[in-house]
Amino acid sequence: MDALITAAGKGTRANLPENMRKEMLPVYSIRNDKIVLRPMLDCIIYNLSRVNIKKFFVILNKNDSYTGNYLKSLNYNIEFLYQSRAEGFGKAVLLAKDYIKNDFILNAGDGIILNSKKVKDVIDIYNSKKHNVLTLMRVNNPENYGIATVNREYILRVDEKPEKPESNYALAAFYLLKKEIFDYIKYTELTPAINEMIGNSIKTNYVKINRYEWASIGNSNNYYKILERTYRYYRKLFP
């Protein structure tokens, strides 16, 4: 199975210098049973390689040679796709349509599931059912997220930042998607495409994660919180 990682955003929401990507900010990780600092993208690729993902497609801004050069220095099978300008998560994913031929993992480049068991759970459910599988977490401000309405087994619908959320289950930006998703992407965001798939009876399962198991660099004001969260998470595993 291949993985697609989006990392072509401008970083304006993170208040970073023009040539610095939030996907390249360091967070804590585990290597050889030691806690280390590595760029977020490095950590995402490393964690996915640990669940037997062999090929990675990474979407970069066409002017971002720094990130590309860093990733080329890693010992992974990475193919780069280039986006001329940021047009939303959905449009970024659509760039991979002619390259990814099978169902795939999608991970936003600025967020990571810290609990590797939950990643394995996503893959196991997919292997068993061959459905889309999304990851959900409970949040206190659901109006700021893509939100899922669920029953005991399936996602019934998803909505992007609804004014009146039907639940507090937010979408973490880690998905296992059927390749047919490319045929449904018509807008800048990905959520409407997923919702249309569900409306066309393409079943979508989910895995719940705890909020603290998802580390995402949204802006510079919460970056220190992500550093603290990743360190504390791994410190519990390796006291």
Residues 10-69: tens digit of each pLDDT: 554 445 555 568 999 999 999 999 999 999 999 999 999 999 999 999 999 988 899 999
Span 188-239, pLDDT tens digits = 999 999 999 999 999 999 999 999 999 999 876 789 999 999 999 999 988 7
Residue 181 · residue 224 · CB < 8 Å: no
Pairwise CA distance, residues 95 & 169, whole Å: 28
Give exposure, 209-229, as e/b (b: 16+ Cβ within 10 Å): beeebbbbbeeeeebeebbeb
Q: Does 239 fall in a domain? A: no
For residues 82, 183, 102, 108, the Cα torsion angle rounded to the nearest 10 degrees is 50
Per the structure, the complete domain to which residue 67 belongs is given by: 2-234
What is the pTM (predicted TM-score) of this model?
Answer: 0.94
Residue 60 · residue 68 · CB < 8 Å: yes
The pair of three-digit structure tokens given for residue 115, joined into one six-digit string: 């609990």
Q: Does 193 fall in a domain? A: yes
Residue 7 · residue 67 · CB < 8 Å: yes
Q: How many domains does the chain have?
A: 1
Q: Does 156 fall in a domain? A: yes
The domain that contains 71 carries what CATH number?
A: 3.90.550.10
